[in-house]
Structure formats: structure tokens, C-alpha cells
Structure 1
Amino acid sequence: MVASLGLELSNCRGQSYDNAISDDEKRDTRNEAGALCGKLEQLETAFMAHFWDAILDRFQATSIMLQKSDINILTAVNLLKSLRAFVSSQRDQFDIYEKAALNVTGVNKTYKRDLQRSRKRKTFADEEGANDVSNLHSGRDKFKIETFYVIIDKLVSCLDHRLSAYKHLTEIFGVLFLVETASSSEITEHANTLVSAYPSDLDSGLANELLQFRSFMFPETDKSPSNMLKTILKFGLQSVFPNVYVALRMFLTLPVTNCEGERSFSHLGRIKNELRTSMKQKRLKSLSLLAIESELVRDLDFSDVVEEFARRKARKKVIT
């Protein structure tokens, strides 16, 4: 992104906008190109190019990891928390992004706000001569407060909303990751919470199984859920730790990401399409009724109707 910005500026700099595009282009096209080139020369554009290049790079890497099939919810939550911490830390990096933007060749060294004439609001006779608040900040401070900080706060808010969706599940299954450090009373309390959430799959023996499983897994180095499940399967301990086995399977099969359709398509858009623009109301009502009651239509036998239609529309004539 940043490299392409510098290339475009180098192409625009030192020549008129009309000459930067072929002469056979229309004037409107040349004017539009000139306006775009002027946008590229703004300091704010170079700043945002460096800023979004760093932000989107971290978001892209995290998003790819979250879409992997072998990732679990705990890892996803830790990734989102680390991404939130990274975005929050960028709040103090304004000077670094500004310095990088100023080093781009062809970029103005002044903010757009400082190049504009200050607007003075007309005051009436009954008003006091107070200064306009919008003119108290410089172009740098205005861009920092109204654009940079707003973007950071919005990103952090969206990540917090995403983390809140996993908060309930991580609290319920958190007992699976406290088997080493937690006390017996804490394990029992959290285990009972997990059992109450899934009463048909787990029973009250989960707490005792976790206490024994803690001693069994203590020599192991990897305490990830997948490794704990592999250990149970490796040694055939499903009958010894049945509730732990079921809880680990439930945790590892919980989906990390999900998707949904933006909206469902209407049957009317499928029935009355561009090939049926001349359809009249009677036929449209009949086809709509068939589409709505599609389950009943599939069970109907149309063989007699097809034979009767073929007999009436047959073009063959018997020659005597």
C-alpha cells in the first residue's frame, strides 16, 4: 500500500494533470485524475496508508489463524486479546506514523486543516464575542483527535464486542485449564458449573475425575486440550475419565467462527424473473402457491396430468 502510494506520487509530481493522462481522454476524466492526484499528495493520505498497512497486516494474520480447522476457542480468545492489546498500543504511535508519512516523496508537509482559511462565525448583537471552538486546535491536533483516536476506539470497541461472544464459553470450560494451579475447591466449583450447563452429557463425577486427571497429566509438558484428549486416547483411559473425555471433545468441537446469510431470497424473485415479465396475475398466483406449498407438491403424482396434456397437445394425426 505504501509503496504504491509513493509510485503514484512520483508519476504525478513534476507534470500537469492534463499531461499525466493521454490527450484523447475527456476533460472530465482528466479533472478527476487531477483531483485524485491531489488527494494522494495530502499528508493525511500518506499517514492513513502507513497506519492501515500496519493495522490490516495484523488483522489479516489473525483472521487467517482464526479460520483454521484445528483452532480452539481458548486460542482464539487469546489471539483476539493480543490483537486488542496491539490496537490499543497504536494510540501512542501517532508521531511514528506522522514521521513515516512526512518521509514519503511528494507529500505535503502540512495538514489540510492548516492550509484552509479559518472560518469565523457571524455573531449577533445579543451574543458575547466568544471564540469558535473549532479554531482552537491545529490541523495536526484536529486530525489526531477526530480521526486517529476515533479509528482506534472503534476498532477496540469491535474487538471487545467479539470477545464478549466467547466470554460465556471460556468461563464454563475454563476448569479444563485449571487442573494444575487451582485448588480442589475451585476445581469442584467450576466443574459443577460445567455440569449444570450440560446436564445430559456430564454428571457430578467430573470434579473427582479432574482432580485425578491433574496428577496424571502433571508430568506432561503440553497441556493443550488437543494433547490432553490425545493422551486419553493413547492410553485408552476413556473408561477411567469418561466425563473429562466428553468435556474435552465438546470443547474441541465448538466452532470458533461462524457465518450466516445476509438475507433470504424471496420466492417472488425466482418466480417472476426477467424471462417471465409478461406473466399475468392468475398464473403468478398459481406459481406462487406451488412454490409456497413445495413440500406438498413434491408428494403429488403428475403422471395423469402429463398424459392428459400430451394427448391434447399431440400434433400427430392418424392417417387412414
Structure 2
Amino acid sequence: MAGKCQGAAARIQANYPKALYFHCAAHILNLCVVGACKVQSVQNMMGFLKEISLFFSNSPKRQQELESQIMEVTDSETNKRKLVDLCRTRWIARIEAFEVFESLLSSVVNSLEVISEGARAGWNVESATMARGLFHSIMKFEFLITFVVVKKAPCYIKGLTHLLQKKTLDICTAYGEVDNVKLSLAQVRQTIDIVHKEWYQAAVTIGDKIHAPEPSISRCCGRQSNRSNVPGDSPEVYYRRLVTVPFIDELLNHLDNRFAISHIKAVCTMKSLMPASFMTSVGDLGSSMGELDVKTMGLDDFEFYLDDLPSADGLPQEMHNWVNKWRRFKGAFPHTPADCLSYADETMYPNINCVLRIFCTLPVTTAECERSVSVLRRLKTYLRSSMGQERLSSLALLHINQSMTIDFDAVINSFSRKHPRRMILKDILSTCIDT
């Protein structure tokens, strides 16, 4: 789709240069997390979590043992009885799996310890061997510190991933929040010593809770290819260089690279048309104010759309009237392009109205389109697997427009007029009521 030479976007732009390509912001954010989780320690931790989840979910007997251990833990503050599997596509959804795993960690450790005893506790050799390996993996401090870091750091973008899936979201608001998240993570990177110390203490607390061994430093050598080989004077410094710094750096690099799209940054300058934006920069304008230049209001990037404006020559004067309109406005300024568009009369402000309409139609996410695909499982079920395309499209329209009020009498009359010789239709509802 996004190939620069032969991709669909490149072929469309060859004929229509103004058809800009916008990658779904929600998918971009997901790819950023995917790239950051390619750190070796993070991959190992993710693999262990998945194996532990499958270890209990694939066997009712093991799951029953886990539930019995959960009931014995009196200080458990959750009503969860099962581990949540790691989502394969939406990586941000794994935060919920991390939270459930942390709340059930003591019960998981106790269950693995009981199962690892093998025949003495009534378990077969295969279950005991797998439980013994998973138990030793959890008890390693590298697993615990990596788990804490991967659980804490993505919390900065947890709200952003839900925001980027909203129906009513303009592109400036979306990328403005992305910049805020990037700024927060950059501040975390600048104060990584303080932040890592807090996360390190959290991992130590978890280790004490499950009676894990004390943190230690792996042996370093001259050349190492199968595991991390970073120097460190203390365990805290060692794991900061091993896990926290690489993970935060990778996350920041992917956010900078994937969201740094030139035409999106240019389009985001359209927010200078918003009253809440330009009134702070213009300030109190005198009554002797002359004509406004396009660059004065930060509209120099609108040159890309000048050919689409009804009368581009009058844009500076129109902006002058637009500013004075909001200087005299009493009340709260609109903060979204859709709300602002209702104030831009097409007769009085034709150019601004045109720009705002373009602004409102710029895509941010494809989450809504994917929701329509997810709805298909409610329409084309196993009982209706041989449904034709015409019927499927009709049912989809009925589902999408289910809030509309349908006049059944009008539908029956229309059907009877189209097919008068098929049958004589009667008003069944009124007949039932009369009887």
C-alpha cells in the first residue's frame, strides 16, 4: 500500500497528487510498540508469559490447581481466576494481561511449584518438567525487572491507543497528543536513573513476595552472541543498561520515525484556523490593523490547497474578517474543526469553509472500518454460511442503520407494487390484532 515506487499510494498520487496517503495512526502506534519489544530481554519475557498462559489454559487439571491456589491466597485483591493470553495483534491490549499476571503471580508460582513435584503430587512427567522450567524462569530477576519495565512504560501510550480509535477525532488533536506522549517519554529518558530506580524497587518487591533469589549480575566476557553482555557495577546499573534504556530508546525512535510524516506535519498547521489557536498568537489587535498576509496567520502551508479554494486571492482579507469575528465572540471557542465549520458561513467565508471541510475529511484511523468487518461475525454465522452477496449487503445495511425507524406498511406496499402477480399481500399485523 505505502510503497514509494509501485505501491497503491504511489500509483494513485501519480494521477492525483493531492490524494495524500495517511497510514492509520492506531496501527502506527501498534507498530511502534512491536518494534520496541524486539529487545532480546523483552522477547524472552514475552515468550515465558505466553508459555505460562498456555500451560494452564491447555489443561483443565492445571487450571483447577491454579484456581485452588488463588483461593488459598487471602490477600488477593482481584476476582480473576484465569490468566489472560497475550494478544497477537493489539500489543497495547497486553497491558491487561500484565495486570492480571501480576495480581495472580503468587498463585502461579505456588501452582508451578506443586506441579513440578511430579508423581508425588499426582502429576505426570511432562507436566512436571514444563512446570519446573517455567518456575525457574519466573524466579529469575531478569524476568521480573523486564516485566515491570514493559508493564510501566507502555502505560504512557495506553490512553493514546484508545484515543486514536475514536470516531470523532481530527488529525491535529491526534498528532498533538502523540507529541505529548513523545515529550513525556523523552523526559523519562532524561531522568532514567530516577525512573529506573523506582521500577527496580518495584521488581525487588515482587521478588520478595514470591521469595525469588537476590538480584545478581550475569558474568560478562569478551565476546557474547547468545545473550546480553553489558557491564555494570551493581545489579541496578546492570539491569538499567540491559532492559530499561534499550526499551525506552527503541520506543522513542519508533515514535519519532513512524509519526514523522512530512505532509501530516504540514496538514496539522491547519489548526491555525481554530479560534483557540490563533487568538493566543494574534493577541489584542488594534482597530487600525491592515490586511493580513497569509504567512502572518501561519497559513503558508495552505499553498498546497490554493487551487481548491473558491477565491484564493481574497484569503488574507477573509482571514482578517475571521479574526475580528472571534474577537467579538462571547463564549467558549470551538476546539474541533467540525464545531468550527458551523460558524464558517459559506457565503461570508467561502475559502475558510472550504479549508475546514478538507480539514474535517482528513483521515486519522481505520478503526471504524475494521469494526464493520468485525460485525460480520454477527451477520454471517455458521448457520448462514452459504449467504449470497446481495443478502449479506442488505443485512449489513440494516445493521448499520438500525437506529432508523422503518415503516413496515410502506415496505410491504412497495414490495407488492413491484411484484403484483406473485401473491396477494395482507396486513398480517392488523389481522392478528383484530383476532
Give 3-state SS (helix, strand or coil) of 2:364's partner: coil
Structure 2 Cα separation of the partners of residues 21 and 157 of structure 1: 50
> Following TM superposition, by how much is the alpha carbon of 1:33 offset from its aligned partner in structure 2, in angstroms?
1.5
Query: Aligned runs of 1:201-216 on 2, under 5 Å?
Result: 201-202=309-310, 203-216=312-325
1:179 counterpart = 2:278: yes
| 1:246-298 Cα shifts (integer Å, max 9, x gaps) | 1111111100125899xxxxxxxxxxxxxxxxxxxxxxxxxxxxxxxxxxxxx
| 1:28-86 Cα shifts (integer Å, max 9, x gaps) | 33222212122222223333333333333342321111111211111111110121123
Give 3-state SS (helix, strand or coil) of 1:164's partner: coil
Q: Which runs of 5+ in 2 are unaligned?
A: 1-97, 224-228, 286-291, 371-435
Q: 1:95 corresponds to which residue?
A: 197
- The percent of aligned pairs where both chains have the same amino acid is 16
Q: 1:228 corresponds to which residue?
A: 340
1:187–1:211 contact (8 Å) kept in structure 2: no
1:9 counterpart = 2:106: yes
Match 1:142 to one of 226, 238, 241: 238
2:148–2:203 contact (8 Å) kept in structure 1: yes
Q: 1:280 corresponds to which residue?
A: none
Amino acid at match of 2:239: F
Q: 2:126 corresponds to which residue?
A: 28
Q: 1:256 corresponds to which residue?
A: 364
* RMSD of aligned Cα (Å): 3.3
Match 1:154 to one of 230, 242, 250: 250
Q: 1:242 corresponds to which residue?
A: 350
Structure 2 Cα separation of the partners of residues 144 and 159 of structure 1: 21
> Following TM superposition, by how much is the alpha carbon of 1:141 offset from its aligned partner in structure 2, in angstroms?
1.9
Give 3-state SS (helix, strand or coil) of 2:251's partner: helix
1:179–1:211 contact (8 Å) kept in structure 2: no
Amino acid at match of 1:229: L
Give 3-state SS (helix, strand or coil) of 1:67's partner: coil
Q: Which runs of 5+ in 1 are unaligned?
A: 123-132, 262-320
Structure 2 Cα separation of the partners of residues 144 and 223 of structure 1: 45
Q: Report the TM-score, using the length of structure 2 for normalisation.
A: 0.49
> Following TM superposition, by how much is the alpha carbon of 1:97 offset from its aligned partner in structure 2, in angstroms?
0.9
Which of 1 and 2 has greater Rg? 1
Give 3-state SS (helix, strand or coil) of 1:231's partner: coil
Q: Report the TM-score, using the length of structure 1 for normalisation.
A: 0.64
> Following TM superposition, by how much is the alpha carbon of 1:229 offset from its aligned partner in structure 2, in angstroms?
1.0
How many residue pairs end up in the alignment? Answer: 243
Give 3-state SS (helix, strand or coil) of 2:145's partner: helix
Q: 1:199 corresponds to which residue?
A: 307
Give 3-state SS (helix, strand or coil) of 1:31's partner: helix
Structure 2 Cα separation of the partners of residues 192 and 57 of structure 1: 37
Change (3 A) 1:188 1:206: farther
